[in-house]
Chain A
């Protein structure tokens, strides 16, 4: 993009007074329209990483794609919680308690003999946890980072207490095993639920009034309040979505494993954050999409599966994932451009600095 040319307001305001003020950007041709549209999307970096990962995997470990149901399973594992988390992050809040929520809801479910009752109780647990988080944030008025950090510890403790510090087996193991088998073509219920959750959240956040307003709550909270948006209710909704989705992940994991593990989810929190942020969701809120999170989860999932398949030593795998993550965040185009421009101008000043006349 050249920097010197075309400012959007080029059309100019020859005479500003009478009927209309022509301040807006004139609509350009298709290409500039496309460029504008792309500039408005937030998923670019995630997409770039995904492309790199897909190409690398296609060359090095094509099994990743031939056994795509496995890959999808891993993506769903990483991505489900991240989807719920996205709703909260979009509002400029955080939920550090998702992994613990996952563990508690799994234990609740496995402790109840009837499987359907267990599922309902687990999902209700997630909703309640979300409501408690929101209560502290909205009613008591403490920062969500802190409230959910407290819940991270408290709920993990609760999972241990409820499970007596041991894994709890499902009473109906067969149901669990059945749940883990493909339902629609090669797709397991986990993958189908993941897709359903994605579609539901995508529609909610892009089409439904309440969901659209999450962006306002995160983008400028004062403006949202001034405009009469029920900000508190939106925050409640967001945390309850996050809690519900984490509980859903707990239910799925428990069913698939046929047991609830109170230590479950140790890697969920950070992987979810990574997926969302790689996908372009801004931690300060207001910017991002669940589509971005999906892309982030796809990139991470494919990367992990191909590394597992490659059989590389785990230490090296970790180093690899770390380097890729690091490269992905430091090459955010906007940041990179600013950083390089900064270097250039400071070099320019050094060249000729302090020349007496």
Chain B
């Protein structure tokens, strides 16, 4: 095997002087990148730094305003097709699958085996199965994508990339939706592929991952190239400083004094699709974490609790100031003071074509109106205030939410509920795909809320995050709570062993 050093190995893909503008804004500003055979090249940067845009240019999906991409010495003509033919495969940040088509068809999307224009379906399944086998994931080839979990979809997308035997494999935040075990699995797999000579470009917000597998790292900030260095010549704090462009005080290990009060949320005997007889309580001022593998049923559980999806059995009550309310439908949950930050912020959390102001005002519209007539002065003040509280950047509340980066979008979703002063806030994967800076801000917000007496329920697949935030962790598997760990007893190992079903610990 070729030794994994960028000097001696053959350069496979080279981008030089790439510029891309959207309207007036420059998303990528004169960036060059060069990746060699067998190299795992990390690209890091804050939300909106231009990572995805650069990758979409490499994959021929976007046409750069300036600059060229060459693969194996030949200049790319542009267009997704020619990039694919040149051996570039991109695993998208936002899943790029067709929900109604089957796993096999999605894996072979755009390039199924054909004879005279007819798809050869046996052959198609054979290749798809081989690709899945290559990455070591087994899933029913005839299942439509819509019926798969998010993480499984991610692996299908990786299988698709691998099925084309690419020379360059680009992965844009592939681990955002994966659990630690799945992440480890993926990282090992990437190393195996690189060892076979594939050039890999790897994007992640999780710096430890970068340091565990990558050989080189390119840092982007505000669309500009900050530097490219070999991993061996840098440290994670240096990388983070370069990304953020300022010194970031990350007090990730802070532990919070918690003073749990009365029980606010009480859920008993909850049953729903994928949820089996769960009991759960959350106290005022307490942060309760829900851990587990992706697909364990945590999302279903919280959705059933708030009534966003129907329950088949169970009772949920909210107790506020000594008054107990039964939660049935979702609206009764909102009325009772529950704020719910859903897992899929783009589809479930935000009206992307509306402004920040509209999105934040929506759940608060009653308070911001008199006799059904909106009070715009009050709305502006209210939203400005909240934008300030959550640290929206830039704080332009009349801008469409869709134009903001993921981290800022998440802040908007949280701001929606902060305005209602929720008695209980439920956050499902609050920092998925969010950069380090925004993540720290969101964590602070969550802690502040709890300190001010709100009950908090957090679902997270990010173990360090879960351990850092939670006062107590319930580990969910197969739609049941498998064990409950107070903070003192919780560490990565105990949570994982419960999540994967190795041990049974009764609470």
Direct contact of A and B (CB under 8 A): yes
> Do the beta carbons of B327 and A349 come within 8 Å of each other?
yes
> Do the beta carbons of A17 and B101 come within 8 Å of each other?
no
B346 in contact (CB, < 8 A): no
Q: A7-B274, A354-B323 are in contact. Are A21 and B185 (CB under 8 A)?
A: yes
Chain A residue with minimal CB distance to B110?
Answer: A227
Could you tell me the distance in whole angstroms from the C-beta of B380 to the nearest C-beta in chain A?
A: 32
Binds B, one of A53-61, A156-164, A206-214, A308-316: A206-214
> Do the beta carbons of B109 and A227 come within 8 Å of each other?
yes
Residues of A with C-beta under 8 A to B59? 226
> Do the beta carbons of B144 and A209 come within 8 Å of each other?
no
Inter-chain CA distance A347–B311, complex, in Å, is: 12
A35 in contact (CB, < 8 A): no
A335 in contact (CB, < 8 A): no
> Do the beta carbons of A216 and B140 come within 8 Å of each other?
no
Chain B residue with minimal CB distance to A27?
Answer: B140
B399 in contact (CB, < 8 A): no
> Do the beta carbons of A226 and B139 come within 8 Å of each other?
no
Could you tell me the distance in whole angstroms from the C-beta of A292 to the nearest C-beta in chain B?
A: 13
Residues of B with C-beta under 8 A to A24? 137-140, 143, 152
> Do the beta carbons of A4 and B61 come within 8 Å of each other?
no
> Do the beta carbons of B329 and A209 come within 8 Å of each other?
no
A220 in contact (CB, < 8 A): yes
Binds B, one of A8-16, A108-116, A239-247: A8-16
A25 in contact (CB, < 8 A): yes
Binds B, one of A77-85, A269-277, A295-303, A338-346: A338-346
Residues of B with C-beta under 8 A to A210? 117
Could you tell me the distance in whole angstroms from the C-beta of B381 to the nearest C-beta in chain A?
A: 32
A19 in contact (CB, < 8 A): yes
Inter-chain CA distance A342–B310, complex, in Å, is: 6
Inter-chain CA distance A213–B105, complex, in Å, is: 10
Within 8 A of B (CB), among A69-123: none
Among A20, A216, A345, contact of B98 (Cβ-Cβ < 8 Å) = A216
B84 in contact (CB, < 8 A): yes
> Do the beta carbons of B328 and A228 come within 8 Å of each other?
no
Inter-chain CA distance A356–B274, complex, in Å, is: 32
A323 in contact (CB, < 8 A): no
Residues of A with C-beta under 8 A to B479? 7
B426 in contact (CB, < 8 A): no
Could you tell me the distance in whole angstroms from the C-beta of B138 to the nearest C-beta in chain A?
A: 5
Chain B residue with minimal CB distance to A286?
Answer: B100
> Do the beta carbons of A209 and B327 come within 8 Å of each other?
no
> Do the beta carbons of B328 and A346 come within 8 Å of each other?
yes
B454 in contact (CB, < 8 A): no
Residues of B with C-beta under 8 A to A4? 271, 276, 312-313
Bin chain A's interface residue count: 35 or more
Residues of B with C-beta under 8 A to A346? 328-329, 331-332
B17 in contact (CB, < 8 A): no
Inter-chain CA distance A346–B308, complex, in Å, is: 11
> Do the beta carbons of A219 and B98 come within 8 Å of each other?
yes
Interface of B is mostly: loop
Q: A21-B155, A24-B143 are in contact. Are A226 and B100 (CB under 8 A)?
A: no
A236 in contact (CB, < 8 A): no
Inter-chain CA distance A351–B139, complex, in Å, is: 44
Q: A220-B99, A286-B99, A286-B100 are in contact. Are A356 and B323 (CB under 8 A)?
A: yes
Residues of A with C-beta under 8 A to B151? 23
A187 in contact (CB, < 8 A): no
Inter-chain CA distance A23–B137, complex, in Å, is: 7
Residues of B with C-beta under 8 A to A338? 310
Inter-chain CA distance A223–B276, complex, in Å, is: 35
Inter-chain CA distance A224–B155, complex, in Å, is: 18
Could you tell me the distance in whole angstroms from the C-beta of B329 to the nearest C-beta in chain A?
A: 4
Q: A21-B138, A228-B81 are in contact. Are A345 and B311 (CB under 8 A)?
A: yes
Residues of B with C-beta under 8 A to A349? 307, 326-329, 332
Residues of A with C-beta under 8 A to B182? 16, 21
> Do the beta carbons of B501 and A3 come within 8 Å of each other?
no
Binds A, one of B43-51, B89-97, B230-238, B483-491: B89-97
A230 in contact (CB, < 8 A): yes
Per-residue CB proximity of B295-334 to A under 8 Å, as 1/0? Answer: 1010000000001001111000001001111111101100
Within 8 A of B (CB), among A323-357: 338, 341-342, 344-357
Q: A355-B324, A356-B323 are in contact. Are A215 and B101 (CB under 8 A)?
A: yes
A22 in contact (CB, < 8 A): yes
A287 in contact (CB, < 8 A): yes
Residues of A with C-beta under 8 A to B331? 346
Chain B residue with minimal CB distance to A206?
Answer: B119
> Do the beta carbons of B325 and A344 come within 8 Å of each other?
no
Q: A23-B152, A224-B110, A356-B323 are in contact. Are A208 and B332 (CB under 8 A)?
A: no
Residues of A with C-beta under 8 A to B118? 207-209
> Do the beta carbons of A219 and B100 come within 8 Å of each other?
yes
Among A14, A208, A225, A348, contact of B80 (Cβ-Cβ < 8 Å) = A225
B14 in contact (CB, < 8 A): no
A229 in contact (CB, < 8 A): yes
> Do the beta carbons of B185 and A9 come within 8 Å of each other?
no
A222 in contact (CB, < 8 A): yes
> Do the beta carbons of B295 and A20 come within 8 Å of each other?
no
> Do the beta carbons of A17 and B117 come within 8 Å of each other?
no
Residues of B with C-beta under 8 A to A353? 325-326, 328, 332
6 contacts between A and B (CB under 8 A): A16-B293, A25-B143, A212-B119, A216-B110, A223-B98, A350-B328
The 9 closest A-B pairs by CB, nearest first: A349-B328, A24-B139, A227-B110, A341-B310, A219-B98, A346-B329, A228-B81, A16-B181, A352-B326
Interface, chain A (partner B; CB < 8 A): 3-4, 7, 9-10, 12-17, 19-25, 27, 36, 40, 207-210, 212-213, 215-216, 219-220, 222-230, 286-287, 338, 341-342, 344-357
Given contacts A3-B273, A345-B310, 10 further A-B contacts (CB under 8 A): A15-B500, A24-B152, A25-B143, A226-B61, A227-B109, A349-B307, A349-B332, A351-B326, A353-B332, A357-B324
